[in-house]
Structure 1
């Protein structure tokens, strides 16, 4: 079932939000407030999560506070990849969390943390173990990114692609499973920590990996899953058929569903990182998805700052 709705993905990252069109995040703030209100109208208790920030930036959170965004969310999420993309060391994780926790009155989730096997499988395996040691008990939700490597014939969802150099190619090696489905050494280590860490797995439109991913998550003992429903994909033919299939396949897990990606024809500019032409259109999409996939009559326990074992989604 859905346990939380996450509004956008990495809004302070130029690969996921067009800062030339919205340099001070004024448009993003207005869109997020509208989405927060729409989600609350669609469900009275469903937690709303401010899209995982990357980099972890206290100034961005202060900006959101000043614009009133934090009055319309129930948690704030951060993303961290210190061995691949961030300019800080993995042992700084507790400090990075504390910087954001000190600024907000709501829980801080880690909805993406990962280590690529770009350089060596052993680096990723060590990274899983060390991440679990550093984060367990410090955040109510931790989602490891990801279960699968990105297929080499696909494109990573980032605006600048190969121009990013090796940073771009690391996107393709973040999985615990290789593209062909064979396990990496990190998989067994993750299984030892799956009671404390969930998984983040983005499923592309009509993704052929969906059913096998569910089987792997069962095998690993995963309970909490983060995925996404793309506003852009909602305009594809048979989009609702795919959304129904995806959400049905994941129904046994506690799912944090992320709403993001602007349709080309509904943005100020024709790409997925653009602010929308109309603020309320994205909010309306969020509300429709919550109404379709989250039973309004099922109470969902409020998020409180508590150890992971206390936070359970409703049966």
Structure 2
């Protein structure tokens, strides 16, 4: 059910990794390397992606290279929002990609790119058209953020919240569907770029939008979907029931799952952005999820000399809808 495993989300953004705890990102480098190696040992065919960086910073990517992290990855990812948060213009996308290509030979995924409708829906429509012109065929994968607006009653995952002013409220207007599911102007334009463009949709714990989101993505011709499974949520009651429901619902897509969010009681500080007390515990969570949703399949030649097919002998273990 998983095509790719993304290790963390925006590690160079203080809303997702605390630089006061880990100012040189040494703890992050160790944690992500342990996770990548553990995933590879369990399923070597699963693509391992370094969590999308935001801002797009070749110096940070170079640091990961110097730490040896990129030697354990199959791709790297970047996130860009030049019409909302970044301090560069949308036409600079090709330059931003080349800055990362100068650091690594690995495939580059734009695993989040989007435009809010905070000011006007016409801005998002224009931004989608221009983004497609700049990125389609130029990177190995491009995924639009996002399908739905963030519900107003939920909290955006960002450190400073309302202190960010209008920047904070833009988080609530990134969808091509409104909170209530009504289409925005950019919806039909997005459908013109599938399946080349994928979608990003984060599902909150027991998210009531799951089934409707799947129906919309199929209607739009989406093939590639990026979502997340939260290490912190793993400690909630009935977590595996929710994880199963989410992953089974997405089974018809090529799914990239982002593993992130430190449980408060397992962090050096009680916050989801904290480096963990024990880095191996994050790797164990990644392995549990891979074993459950992307177990390695073992193959052997067919006994028939005339049949070139290969048959599955076994998997890591059988998996039912619940445990």
TM-score over 0.5 for the pair: yes
Q: Deviations over 1:207-265 (max 9, x none)?
A: 00000000000100000000000000000000000000000000000000000000000
CA distance in 2, matches of 1:159, 1:55: 15
2:243 alignment counterpart? 243
CA distance in 1, matches of 2:105, 2:124: 33
Question: Per the alignment, in what secondary structure is the counterpart of residue 23 of structure 1?
Answer: coil
1:302 alignment counterpart? none
Deviation (angstroms), 1:194: 1.2
Deviation (angstroms), 1:295: 3.1
2:306 alignment counterpart? none
8 A contact 2:195–2:224 mirrored in 1: no
Deviation (angstroms), 1:105: 1.7
1:78 alignment counterpart? 78
2:192 alignment counterpart? 192
8 A contact 2:50–2:73 mirrored in 1: yes
Question: Per the alignment, in what secondary structure is the counterpart of residue 245 of structure 1?
Answer: helix
Counterpart mapping for 1:108-119 below 5 A: 108-119=108-119
Counterpart mapping for 1:92-111 below 5 A: 92-111=92-111
Deviation (angstroms), 1:196: 1.2
**Structure 2 unmatched runs, 5+:** 300-323
Counterpart mapping for 1:96-245 below 5 A: 96-245=96-245
CA distance in 2, matches of 1:298, 1:18: 40
In the comparison of the two structures, how many residue pairs are matched?
299
Deviation (angstroms), 1:195: 2.1
Deviation (angstroms), 1:281: 0.4
1:68 alignment counterpart? 68
CA distance in 1, matches of 2:96, 2:134: 11
**Structure 1 unmatched runs, 5+:** 300-315
TM-score (norm 2): 0.92
1:303 alignment counterpart? none
2:253 alignment counterpart? 253
1:313 alignment counterpart? none
8 A contact 2:214–2:249 mirrored in 1: yes
Deviation (angstroms), 1:298: 7.5
Q: Deviations over 1:5-50 (max 9, x none)?
A: 0000000001110000001101000000000011101101111000
CA distance in 2, matches of 1:253, 1:129: 24
Q: Deviations over 1:90-118 (max 9, x none)?
A: 01001101110121021010000000000
CA distance in 2, matches of 1:298, 1:141: 28
Question: Is 1:3 matched with 2:3?
Answer: yes
Which structure is higher in RCO with an 8 Å CA cutoff and minimum separation 6?
A: 1
8 A contact 2:42–2:295 mirrored in 1: no
2:310 alignment counterpart? none
CA distance in 1, matches of 2:292, 2:164: 38
Question: Per the alignment, in what secondary structure is the counterpart of residue 150 of structure 1?
Answer: coil
* Structure 1 moving runs of 4+ over 6 Å: none
Question: Per the alignment, in what secondary structure is the counterpart of residue 2 of structure 1?
Answer: coil
CA distance in 1, matches of 2:297, 2:105: 27
CA distance in 2, matches of 1:95, 1:166: 27
Counterpart mapping for 1:36-51 below 5 A: 36-51=36-51
TM-score (norm 1): 0.94
CA distance in 2, matches of 1:155, 1:116: 17
CA distance in 1, matches of 2:196, 2:92: 19
CA-atom RMSD in angstroms = 0.9
Question: Per the alignment, in what secondary structure is the counterpart of residue 50 of structure 2?
Answer: strand
CA distance in 2, matches of 1:22, 1:167: 25
1:309 alignment counterpart? none
